[in-house]
Chain A
Amino acid sequence: MTPEHLRVRMFDAGFGDCVLVTAVYQRFARHMLIDFGTTQPPDAELGVLVRMARAIEESVRSPLDGQLDAIVATHRHRDHIGGFARGKSGQWPGDVIAKLKPLAVIRPWMENATGNHLAAEWQRSAKAHLAGPNGLLALLDREARRFQPALRRDLEMHAARLEPNRFALAGLQSFGARQVFAGQGDELSMEERFPGVRFEVLGPARPGAASWGAIETEAAADESGVLGAGGLFPGWPNCPPEEAPPEVRWLLERLDQLRSEQLLMLLANINRTINNSSVILLIKCGKHTLLFPGDAQPEAWAQALGTGAARRGVAATTVYKVSHHGSRDATPPGLWSLFKHRDRGLANTGARNRVRMQPGGLTALLSTQKGMHGDEWRGNEIPSRPLVARLRGSTQLIDTRALRRAKRDWVDVLLDPVSGGVEVDTSVAGADRDAA
């Protein structure tokens, strides 16, 4: 049996990810939710997530009443899993998801510490670097006022994604679903629920298979606790920078600035390592191949694309969820050059907001928000201008920023597994040119 079509519904998650893949068969429909999280101001977040949860619920109930057959939580960042948190009131977004009776929860192997000392070490070092009075988060909190505004915004974004996701992680455990801890080379056995669809896992790499990116163990995270109040040389005459002689103040200010940048880099490195724990999922159905890489960074791609089979699989991609919200290097040239469907089937325009792309093209799904991360001067803005330009030129680009402009909660991409055809709603297709 093969689905009549696949419906890929991308929700507007702000700076976050949330995609529902539905295989529509003649008499029933099967659903896989890939990530559910966002980064919003704290007072707005719960409301936004509840609204998204209701939209997911609605999508699972229609057109054919179904349940959530699988959840993929690609990695533990809040903008990917924050929506799974449950509350005592029973009104939290995770409570809405629980009502959809998820059958399986798929997560990276690092999330299962039971009997796996490498995974335990991974989690422990993440925690040790972040939590506690001497952890990085507390340190950043104490020092935040020393940061210049642009850096502070970056810092807040990084820190926000790392905030302990205890509730979301507990939520994922609580659904009573089968827990699947996936890694490179696995094939998820879901033929029973999704006939005619195959799910291959390209990443994260298993330990031993290659280096799998232990969390950076840099010292700065806990040095303030080690040194104590006396600093490096207790008792040696010293003065605070404000009392320094004028001829050295310029250098002192620059060194303070450097310190801020180093802390930020440390935090970014930890985030990067967590990004690299993303489940990279390849979904194959008839003539279509869908690639969902979470927030995989170049290091993770290098490992995931290490085998000929993986490269051949990725080359056939027809729908690509752009990695890491469109950051410059998360779609590295080594990945981009593999896509054999890019630059094809783009010439067709249809009437009145509906378009049938000719089979053979590449559709790119970009879930992002401008102005949250990095800046253009440093060339690390998200989404990256050169990448968006490349996507716009070579793919059918669907960008959540255009959804926002059209005041829509989601956009659908319909895939025909037999003909390889693609149908999208052009009213929200294409990048938000003003925003980009």
Chain B
Amino acid sequence: MENQRFLTIVAQDPSVRRDGGILTARVAVPRENLAPGPRGARVHVVDYDAASKRLYLPREIPDASEPSAGDRLLDDPAFHAQNVYAVVMLVLAQFERALGRRVGWAFPSHQLKIAPHAFAGPNAFYSRSHQALLFGYLARPKIKTVFTCLAFDIIAHETAHAILDGLRSAYVEPSGPDQAAFHEGFADIVSLLAVLSLPEVIEATLDLDRRTRQWRLRESKLVHLAKELSLAIGASQIRRPASLKPSATLLDQTGFESPHRRGEVLAAAMLSAFLDIWERRTSMPEALLPAGRVAEEGGALARALLTLAIRALDYLPPTDVRFGDFVSALATVEAEHGWPESRFHPGAALAEAFARYGIAPASKRPGGAWPLVEQGMDYRGVHLESLQRDPEEFSAFLWANRTALGLMPKADTRVVSVRPAVRLAGDGAAVRETVAEYRQTLVLPASELGSLSAGIQKPAGMPESERVKLTGGGVVVLDEYGRARYHIANSLLDGERQSQRLQAIWDHRDEDPAGRRTSREME
């Protein structure tokens, strides 16, 4: 197809092999007029290795020639550059398709820089201050060099961090334990579902249990995270959310305060829903579905779930996000948009999976979806056309309805974004909705918290003179007629939630003294 470009990528990571070679896949990414790098409109691959101080010069256009095959891929930096480019573009395209709009980065540039061999070290991260995804490598005597830029799940994970930061830039700020964990958990969800969206990869890794004559879906090589890397650094265990035993009290257990571990619980719940539905649809008594069919089902289901998870982002509060908000957002998307592939009829599978891991929807409505905005908003003096795109107009709407929307008038209110969200409705017609995001902040000494009459408690042990920063905000989703349909907010007037947030930040004030430097870097 003219608007697509097919590129070869490493299917999972070089540890997943078939027929004696590394398992690869051909994927379609949006075609664009590329410069060497590859450098396109959205990303720019810069292959600089700071450890040896070398800039590897890019090959011309990546798909002009077929890359080397088999294990020789490992020694070909141009292929590495092409691999990261393709995976990042694949994930970006999935986000843009699901949201029905372009997504931007959290920094003032249109090109995300990607350094496939940025540093020596078994690690990779997204850094807003570098405007980049930085991939490390592990070179040691007697073992094959491990490149994180060849691991599909690691690339997808870091890409998800970058995109999420562009959509919800306040999620990297200090908050309760869920917020940093959400960044990690969501990035895991994207990386797992993105690789499972490739049916040919599923098919190549399907494993038949000869005793029960059933496919061993739960043991799939694709539900591990960063396997090759974990093996190489001798990590005590490979991150494998699928093996996390469900428990309603998991999040309260020690060890689950750390963002990666806590985030894994969110990913485990999502993965468990995926496996439940996949199994239900592919296991038949007395019969074995052909591998191709099982893989097709898995791929379509993963794409559907990923679309759902991405769309849910538009229904999340802009600050202090909690896992329960995500469950409510998913329920809202299910209710509003329906499933991208209606044949799955998942029923309550998602909500049940989250409940098994002790994650309940934040909304108390039956089904867990967010409540609709009550009628009676004031639209006088506000114009539809500019309300759908202009932050100033939206700010006027917020001011007129500040009481109904529960805003704190004393605080500084800033409309962060007004974005379109386009999708196809059930009848096939295009629907254009609008998602607007605003934030409220108020800085004051702890001694004045009481004067706000919001019931916000000063954290135990905090001196009266300590300056505290209250942050809150909301998302308003306008329907196609420009009327407020959903308002999903953390109000500054919510004393309980604000108190919990302040206490969490205060309790962890002594941790990670370098935090100020690294808070925008997500591994």
A: which residues have CB within 8 A of B?
Answer: 218-220, 222-224, 226-227, 231-233, 236-241, 243-244, 248, 251-252, 254-256, 258-259, 262, 328-329, 332-333, 374, 377-380
Contacts and interface: CB of A to CB of B under 8 A. Distances in A.
A248 B48 contact: yes
Which residue among A259, A333, A374 has the maximum number of chain B CB atoms within 10 Å of its CB? A259
A311 B19 CA distance: 59
Given A222-B141, A240-B54, 4 more contacts: A223-B139, A241-B53, A255-B118, A258-B118
Contacts of B134: 255, 258
A224 B55 contact: no
B149 to A, nearest CB: 11
B68 to A, nearest CB: 12
A175 to B, nearest CB: 39
Given A226-B141, A379-B514, A237 B57 contact: yes
Nearest to B57: A237
B57 A239 contact: yes
A244 B58 CA distance: 12
B139 A227 contact: yes
A284 to B, nearest CB: 29
A232 B119 contact: no
Interface string B493-514: 0000000000000000011011
A240 B121 CA distance: 21
A232 B52 contact: yes
Nearest to A230: B52
Interface of B: 46, 48-57, 75-77, 113, 115, 117-122, 129-132, 134, 137-141, 145, 510-511, 513-517
Contacts of B52: 224, 227, 231-232
Shortest 4 CB-CB contacts between residues of A and residues of B? A231-B52, A259-B50, A379-B513, A223-B120
B121 A251 contact: no
B514 A219 contact: no
A237 B56 contact: yes
A238 B120 contact: no
B113 to A, nearest CB: 5
A342 to B, nearest CB: 13
B50 A255 contact: yes
Given A219-B138, A238-B54, A240-B54, A328 B119 contact: no
20 contacts: A218-B121, A219-B140, A220-B51, A222-B140, A222-B141, A224-B51, A231-B49, A233-B76, A238-B54, A238-B56, A248-B48, A248-B55, A252-B48, A255-B134, A256-B50, A258-B50, A258-B119, A262-B121, A328-B513, A380-B513
Contact of B120 (A220, A243, A377): A220
A222 B139 CA distance: 9
A241 B139 contact: no
A152 B52 CA distance: 19
A226 B139 contact: yes
B159 to A, nearest CB: 18
Given A219-B138, A328-B510, A379-B513, A233 B56 contact: yes
B427 to A, nearest CB: 48
Contacts of A238: 54-57
Nearest to A259: B50
Nearest to A327: B513
Query: Which of A240, A333, A379 gathers the greatest number of chain B CB atoms within 10 Å?
Result: A379
Contact of B48 (A251, A374, A379, A380): A251
A232 B137 contact: yes
Give the most central of B54, B129, B517: most A CB within 10 Å.
B54
Given A232-B49, A233-B75, A251-B48, A219 B122 contact: yes
A333 B510 contact: yes
Given A251-B115, A252-B48, A259-B50, A329 B513 contact: yes
Contacts of A241: 48, 53, 55
A223 B46 contact: no
B57 A219 contact: no
B139 A232 contact: yes
A255 B118 CA distance: 7
A220 B121 contact: yes
A388 to B, nearest CB: 14
Nearest to A231: B52
Contacts of B75: 233
A64 to B, nearest CB: 44
Q: By CB atoms of chain A within 10 A, which of B119, B120, B513 has the most? A: B120
B139 A329 contact: no
Nearest to A261: B517
Counting chain B CB atoms within 10 Å of each CB, which of A240, A262, A377 scores highest? A262
Contacts of A227: 51-52, 139
